[in-house]
């Protein structure tokens, strides 16, 4: 059995635990609502988080390019970037995956001598984390950009007006 | 060196599951989640109590000595005045049906944003002071003392509610958190605890006639730019009138439509439509605000600001009033105006001069919604339309909270929209009509300093837009609300880049074939029309 | 904690009645005085409550509209969800009161989402709520037989329908089972769902246990530890005819426990959230027609306010207005 097969076998359990880690950031009674509902539109946070972890893990298994996984990562990071988590806390769930994977298949890996494969798999998770920091920063920058744009937009007509008044005086 | 937390710890910091009850969980003022406090100048203009410099993040809010007495008397007074308030304090059974219906709860995950708990913030004090059980059993019966911390908690959470009424739709007793927030904010205003983003515009509106503080000559000036833009697109020079006595119709719209994009495109739409109809109407600079930030302050202030509309209609001697596209403006006009400032017996029952349709539904208040007016025109085939001019747009419809749940104008705008665009896709059923999700910035919360809050609150709305964006390529979010037009663009920018925002009448004007217009090559935004891109380049 | 306090409160109440009758022979207290007192408290309390609600006016017409408004004749309006007249309001209220329309609104979502159990809770809330309230009503109606010399036909019909399964002797009433199940579910839900436990108060647990206690004692009496039904009826008849007299026979302490818990419920009712039963009819977001533009609604405490008049406005801006070519009243 190779590493991929091992991971695939444990995929549901790993994903479930990973999803719980994402929810662990919220108060118990809130997490419960996020956790329970599968509704895409009335529970967007829970839905996107689940889609996110499922999709991400799938992408990791298939070894697809990080860019392609970015949509799933974005699902989770974009909301966390505005939920007043510091970056370390907002993105800690990615490192948690390493722990979960080790806990789930560590023993089997050791038995079957796949340690090297596992290390390389875990290092892709590190890459994922780095990538997530980029996304997180992108989101925060976007937020500031939006604030600036809003100010600009709200003064645009005033400036237009001022220019016109100025023009008339000349 | 301090021990670094491991990831598992990190993901749980600050958010320890509340083994403590909510009453024992102190409120933390988080940056990005609240607005600046009201400035003394605004409160003075409005003749409001306790004008002073204060900052919400400060410990000392500079409350009057007898603040507690003021508040308790305020509660007692409102219990006597509002059956809704008294009833909603008593009959909640905490079934939890509302818990996950609030966009702020969905987006923030803060349990105190569950509508039931937001109401309990004030209910707990009510029990302590106004019920026997609360007095005897105290905390056990959900009662608690009114303290400064409780007051701050009220402020924090009543300005994290957009009065959207979505919870009220699902409540088996119709308990309406909007009503509780309205009264909660009224109480806070007894102590001078407003936010400047509301108090400032309200003061502007009181003195200058509109939230933005546009003085009469500025309104004319702003409109001239808009008229220039219309001329560029259509080749037609429109000359609307202001404060004209003897006009048949007074037109009132939110001032945001005159000021910032994309609202200005909607204003272009009104102007072009009325011009094409040859409507005998006038704008007013005195009543130049349809919206009403007083409604987010106190009932009395709302009435004071609203009074200008009827007063101006009377002064100008018009027959009736048409109102532009705005959400809370229409909740106020529909459910409050006549009661506050009526009877409007000096006006006539609105009758469309074009189709002859009499609007019986407004026979008392004498004010109709422009979507009702336009839908009637279209039904009677009075407009020449070329919807293919909107073919570059794939449009979806956002029902604004107030017009959906405080009025019920759902079909008129859809009918109009379907007449002027060829590509229309509804968002999922749970997120439209009476179940529509708020933009996250309503009720005066569309400031810049609370951007985090707005992005969170608007997340459920954006998520539904994202769905139709991904599935149908929707790139335009249409609506009939000025706050939507101001707040949805940044929301889309963050969550669903590539989706723009438009008022209904912008799309109407795009499609409207006007007499004597030049061949249009661009839409109102100056973007090339479908099939005209080539010409644009060669021109 | 809140759960335990509520549970023990009800347990103690039950024991007090049981012991009071069994050991201290306080039949008259528990059979006559307390029921009368409770009933009077109930009536007076509910009337007081409703009068108090009623004494606060409804200043504004604020229905929550859940459908299309009535405007142009060719646009189909939603008569039930957004009523424009009295008939519509009555129908809307009937749906609300009889079928919990608003709670049901959760359901549509669930159905369209497929049969995932995870998403079913709201549906169960609606179902359990409905089952609980309806079975409670039917049980109350069935009990009317104890207060009438000759049992009227409608009540015998209800009894027949309720026991149509023809199980056991005495015949099993379905509503007994449904009520017990529904109350149990509502309780489990309250403690089992974190966000619900978070918002729950003693005021939520206590009535649940109380009703559970009443139901359990009732069931025990009927199916397991028989009490003297004829005696119970004699007592009931004497109470209702205002000539209270304890029957010669011993009815059984269980009966008095049942009666006492019921008395507590009645007395507690007006001071608790249970008044939602009466309150729902007064809810202005549900019981008003959405016709405020067609028909003027009057606020009894409407008062004149300080406004900024046009004249003041023109005084502020006259020169600027003239400069911009705007007409003015005073040159």
Please tell me the distance from the alpha carbon of residue B102 to that of residue C245, in angstroms, as a whole number.
56
Residues B472 and B328 in one domain: yes
- Judged by CB atoms closer than 8 Å, whether chains meet at A39 and C197 is answered as no
3-state class (DSSP) for residue C251: coil
Residue whose C-alpha is closest to residue B86's, from C3, C220, C59: C59
Contact C250/B at CB under 8 A: no
Residues B183 and B250 in one domain: no
Count the neighbouring beta carbons within 10 Å of the beta carbon of residue C46: 17
- Which residue ranges of chain C lie beneath pLDDT 50? 109-119
Q: Could you say which DSSP state residue B159 is in? A: T
Kindly identify which residue of chain B lies nearest to residue C107, measuring between CA atoms. Answer: B170
Residues B216 and B189 in one domain: no
Residues B397 and B500 in one domain: yes
Res C149: pLDDT: 84
Check whether A167 has a pLDDT greater than 70.
no
Contact A165/C at CB under 8 A: no
- The answer to whether the beta carbons of residues B88 and B179 sit under 8 Å apart is yes
Taking only the tens of pLDDT, chain B with its 539 residues reads: 445 555 455 444 343 345 678 888 889 999 899 999 999 999 999 999 999 999 999 999 999 999 999 999 999 999 999 999 999 999 999 998 998 899 999 999 899 999 999 999 999 999 999 998 899 888 888 999 999 999 999 999 999 999 999 999 999 999 999 999 999 999 999 999 999 999 999 999 999 999 999 999 999 988 999 999 999 999 999 999 999 999 999 999 999 998 888 999 999 999 999 999 999 999 999 999 999 999 999 999 999 999 999 999 999 999 999 999 999 999 999 999 999 999 999 999 999 999 999 999 999 999 999 999 999 999 999 999 999 999 999 999 999 999 999 999 999 999 999 999 999 999 998 899 999 999 999 999 999 899 999 999 999 999 999 999 999 999 999 999 999 999 999 999 999 999 999 999 999 999 999 999 999 999 999 999 988 776 544 44
- Calculate the dihedral angle through the C-alpha atoms of B267, B270, B274, B279, rounding to the nearest 10 degrees: -90
Res B8: pLDDT: 56
Q: Give the CA distances from residue B387 to residues B8, B395, C275, in Å, rounded to whole numbers and listed in that order.
A: 56, 12, 55
Convert C14-44 into a string of H (helix), E (strand) and C (coil).
Answer: HHHHHHHHHCCCCHHHHHHHHHHHHHHHHHH
- The answer to whether the beta carbons of residues B113 and B86 sit under 8 Å apart is no
ipTM of predicted assembly, 2 dp: 0.91
Residues B141 and B64 in one domain: yes
Res A64: pLDDT: 74
Please tell me the distance from the alpha carbon of residue C125 to that of residue C127, in angstroms, as a whole number.
5
Residues B212 and B296 in one domain: yes
Start-to-end CA distance of chain B, whole Å, equals 69
Cβ contacts of A42 on chain B, cutoff 8 Å: 100-101, 106, 430-431, 460
Q: What is the mean pLDDT of chain A?
A: 84
Strands B367-369 and B500-503: what pairing?
unpaired
- A17-29: average pLDDT: 87
3-state class (DSSP) for residue C279: helix
Q: Give the CA distances from residue B88 to residues B406, B471, C82, C189, C274, in Å, rounded to whole numbers and listed in that order.
A: 18, 42, 21, 23, 13
Residues B258 and B122 in one domain: no
Contact C192/B at CB under 8 A: no
Q: How far is C101 from chain A (nearest CA, A)?
A: 19
Q: Does some domain include residue B212?
A: yes
The helix (run of H) or strand (run of E) holding residue A107 is helix A92-112
- The answer to whether the beta carbons of residues B3 and A92 sit under 8 Å apart is no
Please tell me the distance from the alpha carbon of residue B52 to that of residue B33, in angstroms, as a whole number.
22
* Residue found under tokens 């490192």: A95
pLDDT digits (tens, 9 = 90+) for A105-138: 988 888 888 888 899 999 989 989 999 999 999 9
Return all residues near B536 (Cβ < 8 A) that are at least 6 apart: B521, B522, B528
3-state class (DSSP) for residue B396: strand
How many residues make up chain A in this entry? 170
- A30-59: average pLDDT: 85
Res C112: pLDDT: 42
**Tokens matching residue B114:** 């569950």
Res A155: pLDDT: 67
Radius of gyration over alpha carbons of chain B, in Å?
24
Enclosing domain of residue B35:
23-194
Start-to-end CA distance of chain A, whole Å, equals 84
Residues B338 and B446 in one domain: yes
Q: Could you say which DSSP state residue B428 is in? A: P
Please tell me the distance from the alpha carbon of residue B170 to that of residue C105, in angstroms, as a whole number.
6
- Best probe of the B interface among A146, A162, A163, by most B CBs < 10 A, is A146
Query: Helices B67-81 and B115-130: crossing angle, nearest 10°?
Result: 100
Domain boundary at B148, B163, B194, which? B194
Res A40: pLDDT: 83
**Tokens matching residue C9:** 């409160």
Residues B156 and B292 in one domain: no
Rounded to two decimals, what is the model's pTM? Answer: 0.91
Domain residue ranges in chain C: 2-300
Residues B205 and B93 in one domain: no
Binned at pLDDT 50, 70 and 90, residue A28 comes out as confident
List subunits contacting chain C, requiring 3 or more Cβ pairs under 8 Å: A, B
Nearest to A37 among C118, C194, C198 (CB): C118
Res C321: pLDDT: 95
How many Cα atoms occupy the beta-carbon half-sphere of C124 within 13 Å?
18
Count the neighbouring beta carbons within 10 Å of the beta carbon of residue B44: 11
Res C118: pLDDT: 37
Res A166: pLDDT: 46
Nearest to A142 among B32, B218, B494 (CB): B494
Radius of gyration over alpha carbons of chain A, in Å?
22
Instruction: List the helix and strand counts (H, then E) for chain C.
Output: 14, 0
Residue whose C-alpha is closest to residue C3's, from C242, C270, C245, C208: C208
* Residue found under tokens 């049969």: C115
Kindly identify which residue of chain C lies nearest to residue B379, measuring between CA atoms. Answer: C74
Q: Give the CA distances from residue B534 to residues B144, B147, B394, B530, B539, in Å, rounded to whole numbers and listed in that order.
A: 70, 68, 21, 10, 9
Q: Does some domain include residue B536?
A: no
Residue B351 phi/psi, 5-degree rounding, is: -140, 125
Q: Does some domain include residue B521?
A: no
Nearest to C194 among A28, A37, A39 (CB): A28
- The answer to whether the beta carbons of residues B476 and B240 sit under 8 Å apart is no
Res A164: pLDDT: 55
pLDDT digits (tens, 9 = 90+) for C151-173: 889 888 898 898 888 787 788 89
Nearest to A29 among C109, C113, C198 (CB): C198
- The answer to whether the beta carbons of residues B85 and B122 sit under 8 Å apart is no
Q: How is domain C2-300 classified at the CATH fold level? A: Fumarate Reductase Cytochrome B subunit (1.20.950)
Residues B325 and B467 in one domain: yes
Q: Does some domain include residue B534?
A: no
List subunits contacting chain A, requiring 3 or more Cβ pairs under 8 Å: B, C
Cβ contacts of C272 on chain B, cutoff 8 Å: 133
Q: Does some domain include residue B11?
A: no
- Judged by CB atoms closer than 8 Å, whether chains meet at A44 and B99 is answered as no
Kindly identify which residue of chain B lies nearest to residue A141, measuring between CA atoms. Answer: B494
* Residue found under tokens 């016709």: C291
Q: Does some domain include residue B355?
A: yes
List subunits contacting chain B, requiring 3 or more Cβ pairs under 8 Å: A, C
Please tell me the distance from the alpha carbon of residue B419 to that of residue B413, in angstroms, as a whole number.
10
Q: Does some domain include residue B109?
A: yes
- The answer to whether the beta carbons of residues C264 and C6 sit under 8 Å apart is no
Nearest to C286 among B174, B206, B299 (CB): B174
Count the neighbouring beta carbons within 10 Å of the beta carbon of residue C55: 11
**Tokens matching residue B152:** 């701050």
**Chains B, C: CB contacts under 8 A, how many?**
289
Count the neighbouring beta carbons within 10 Å of the beta carbon of residue B39: 18
- The domain total for chain B is 2
């Amino acid at each position: 059995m190779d590493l991929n097969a091992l991971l695939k076998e444990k995929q549901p359990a790993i994903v479930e635990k990973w999803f719980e880690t994402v929810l662990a950031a919220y108060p118990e009674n809130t997490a419960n609502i996020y956790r329970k509902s599968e509704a895409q539109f009335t529970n967007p946070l829970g839905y996107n988080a689940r889609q996110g972890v499922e999709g991400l893990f799938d992408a990791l298994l298939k070894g697809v390019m990080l860019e392609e996984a970015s949509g799933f990562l974005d699902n989770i990071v974009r909301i966390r970037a505005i939920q007043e988590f510091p970056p370390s806390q907002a993105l800690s769930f990615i490192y948690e995956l390493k722990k979960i994977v080790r806990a789930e298949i560590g023993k089997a890996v050791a038995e079957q001598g796949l340690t090297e494969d596992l290390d390389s798999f875990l290092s892709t998770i590190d890459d994922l984390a780095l990538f997530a920091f980029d996304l997180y920063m992108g989101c925060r920058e976007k937020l500031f950009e939006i604030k600036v744009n809003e100010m600009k937009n709200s003064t645009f007509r005033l400036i237009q007006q001022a220019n016109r008044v100025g023009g008339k005086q000349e | 060196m301090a021990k670094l937390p491991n990831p598992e710890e990190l993901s749980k910091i600050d958010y320890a599951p509340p083994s403590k009850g909510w009453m024992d969980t102190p409120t933390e003022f988080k940056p990005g989640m609240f607005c600046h406090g009201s400035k003394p100048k605004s409160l003075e203009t409005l003749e409001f109590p306790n004008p002073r410099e204060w900052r919400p993040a400060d410990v000392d809010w500079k409350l009057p000595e007898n603040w507690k007495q003021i508040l308790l008397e305020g509660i007692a007074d409102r219990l006597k005045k509002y059956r809704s308030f008294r009833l909603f304090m008593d009959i909640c059974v905490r079934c939890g049906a509302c818990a996950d219906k609030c966009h702020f709860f969905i987006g923030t995950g803060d349990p105190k944003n569950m509508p039931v708990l937001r109401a309990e913030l004030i209910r707990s004090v009510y029990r302590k002071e106004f019920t026997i059980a609360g007095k005897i059993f105290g905390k056990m019966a959900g009662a608690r003392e009114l303290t400064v911390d409780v007051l701050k908690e009220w402020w924090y959470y009543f300005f994290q509610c957009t009065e959207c009424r979505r919870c009220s739709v699902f409540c088996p007793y119709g308990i309406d958190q909007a009503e509780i927030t309205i009264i909660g904010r009224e109480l806070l205003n007894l102590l001078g605890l407003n936010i400047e983003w509301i108090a400032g515009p309200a003061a502007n509106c009181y003195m200058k006639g509109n939230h933005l503080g546009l003085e009469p000559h500025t309104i004319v000036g702003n409109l001239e730019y808009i008229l220039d833009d219309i001329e560029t697109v259509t080749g037609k020079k429109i000359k609307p009138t202001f404060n004209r006595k003897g006009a048949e119709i007074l037109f009132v719209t939110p001032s945001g439509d005159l000021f910032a994009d994309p609202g200005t495109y909607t204003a272009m739409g009104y102007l072009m439509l009325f011009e094409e109809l040859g409507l005998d109407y006038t704008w007013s600079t005195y009543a130049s605000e349809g919206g009403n930030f007083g409604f987010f302050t106190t009932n009395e202030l709302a009435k004071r600001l609203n009074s200008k509309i009827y007063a101006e209609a009377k002064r100008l001697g018009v027959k009736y009033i048409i109102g532009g596209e705005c959400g809370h403006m229409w909740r106020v006009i529909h459910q409050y105006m006549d009661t506050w400032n009526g009877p409007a017996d000096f006006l006539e029952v609105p009758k469309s001069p074009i189709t002859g349709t009499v609007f019986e539904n407004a026979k008392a208040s004498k004010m109709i919604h422009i979507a009702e007016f336009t839908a009637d025109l279209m039904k009677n085939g009075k407009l020449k339309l070329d919807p293919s001019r909107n073919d570059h747009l794939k449009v979806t419809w956002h029902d604004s909270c107030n017009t959906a749940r405080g009025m019920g104008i759902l079909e008129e705008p859809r009918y109009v929209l379907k007449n002027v665009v060829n590509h229309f896709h509804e968002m999922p059923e749970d997120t439209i009509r009476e179940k529509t999700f708020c933009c996250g910035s309503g009720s005066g919360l569309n400031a810049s300093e609370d951007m985090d809050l707005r992005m969170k609150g608007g997340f459920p709305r954006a998520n539904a837009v994202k769905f139709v964006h991904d599935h149908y390529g929707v790139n335009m979010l249409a609506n009939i609300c000025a706050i939507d037009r101001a707040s949805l663009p940044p929301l889309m920018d963050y969550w669903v880049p590539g989706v723009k925002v438009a008022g209904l009448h912008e799309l109407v004007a795009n499609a409207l074939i006007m007499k004597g217009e030049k061949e249009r090559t661009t839409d109102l935004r100056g973007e090339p029309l479908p099939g005209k891109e080539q010409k644009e380049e060669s021109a | 904690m809140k759960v335990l306090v509520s549970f023990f409160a009800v347990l103690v109440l039950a024991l007090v009645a049981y012991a009071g009758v069994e050991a201290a022979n306080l039949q008259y207290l528990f059979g006559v005085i307390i029921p009368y007192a409770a009933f009077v408290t109930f009536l007076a309390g509910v009337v007081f409550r409703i009068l108090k609600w009623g004494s606060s006016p409804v200043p504004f017409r604020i229905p929550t509209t859940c459908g299309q408004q009535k405007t142009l004749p060719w646009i189909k309006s939603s008569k039930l969800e957004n009523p424009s007249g009295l008939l519509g309001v009555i129908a809307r209220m009937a749906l609300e009161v009889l079928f919990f329309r608003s709670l049901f609104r959760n359901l549509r979502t669930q159905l369209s989402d497929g049969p995932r159990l995870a998403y079913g809770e709201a549906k169960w809330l609606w179902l359990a709520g409905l089952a609980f309230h309806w079975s409670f009503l039917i049980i109350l109606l069935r009990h009317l037989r104890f207060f009438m010399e000759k049992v009227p036909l409608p009540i015998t019909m209800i009894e027949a329908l309720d026991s149509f399964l023809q199980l056991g002797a005495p015949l099993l009433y379905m509503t007994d089972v449904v009520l017990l199940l529904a109350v149990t579910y509502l309780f489990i839900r309250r403690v089992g769902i974190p966000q619900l436990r978070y918002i729950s108060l003693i005021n939520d647990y206590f009535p649940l246990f109380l009703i559970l206690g009443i139901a359990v004692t009732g069931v025990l009496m009927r199916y397991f530890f028989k009490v003297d039904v004829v005696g119970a009826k004699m007592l009931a008849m004497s109470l209702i005819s205002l000539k209270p007299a304890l029957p010669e026979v011993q009815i059984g302490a269980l009966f008095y426990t049942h009666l006492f818990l019921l008395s507590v419920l009645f007395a507690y009712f007006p001071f608790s959230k249970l008044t939602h039963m009466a309150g729902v009819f007064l809810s202005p977001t549900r019981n008003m027609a959405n016709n405020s533009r067609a028909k003027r609604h009057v606020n009894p405490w409407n008062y004149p306010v300080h406004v900024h008049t046009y004249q003041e406005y023109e005084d502020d801006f006259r020169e600027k207005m003239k400069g911009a070519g705007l007409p003015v009243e005073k040159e």
